[in-house]
Amino acid sequence: MQYRTLGRTGVQVSTLALGAMNFGALARTTQQDADAIVDAALEAGINVIDTADMYSAGESEEMVGKAIAGRRDDIVLATKASMPMGGDRNHQGASRRWLVTELDNSLRRLGVDHVDLYQIHRWDPTTSDEETLSALTDLQRAGKIRYFGSSTFPAHRIVQGQWTAREHGLSRYVTEQPSYSVLQRGIESHVLPVTEEYGLGVLVWSPLASGWLSGAVRAGQAATGHRAAMMPERFDLAVPANRARLDAVEQLAAVADEAGLTMIQLALGFVTAHPAVTAALIGPRTLDHLRAQLAAADTVLTSDVLDAIDAIVPPGTDLAPEEKHDTPPSLLDPRLRRR
């Protein structure tokens, strides 16, 4: 396992981090499964576990808490908030009212007195940056969080957050967690240059592109698994973006074969090769999935392989732009761009 410094915090983290989104009802992962995955991940040298309050409505945090009991100090523990938790309209967002309440809920579910990294899961356009950063700074000073970061923020919001922290004398976001893969490279043109400018640690999610880069999706071979069942539209070859992805996957498979790599090694080696990326979040549902992903822990792609990838999916290109998660709300809702 390789290790890198998380932004400018001085904290050393593994280049593969364990994401716990699949723990719980979402992927039907049991506590026994979660315990085994966490045990194997820690044994392999992974020292970061990332979860969120909304993963299986809090069940993921509970399962992570039980799995790390007795060894919490050896783990860089991260969670997130701001996505809806239940039907109450104020049980979401990045207001002081909600973050103070929900952090206590997360700490209770995790069975800990602090988390190392607390992340705003999505930018909340209804809440000012000063309101959010002031609350996070107070929670940090209270010892409940060590650092805080953002997740899937547009580049301009990352800049705005840094400016607000400096302008008002508040602590700042020290990490960003964007979606990034060989098939979705758009952040190379806007988000990653900003994170480099401000020295943010970057923990990328979906490096296997929801399974497209796992090796299981090939021509003449229907997508299977819980993601295909949950999001069939992402694998429907009647959709032009999906046909483009399949074409790219076939070409990438040939590159991987020639280099003597699995598709997973190629995909994870690609994202961790970018100088702005600190770690890739892997989200195994089973021990076999974890073992296949751990095989990429020491993968270093050569310049020839990286050049071949660039020829298939050019830098800064999203093959499925409609699946971007940092699109400004006004581009999604006509009411926000019309008077």
* Residues acting as catalytic residues: 55
d(CA 268, CA 20): 17
- With CA atoms as reference, report the closest residue to 294 among 4, 13, 14: 14
Cα distances from 301 to residues 112, 257, 262, 337, in angstroms, run 38, 13, 12, 43
CB atoms within 10 A of CB 111: 14
Rounded (10°) angle between helices 96-110 and 129-141: 40
Share of the chain residues as helix, strand and coil, in percent rounded to the nearest 5: 45, 15, 40
- With CA atoms as reference, report the closest residue to 9 among 273, 162, 200: 200
CB atoms within 10 A of CB 44: 16
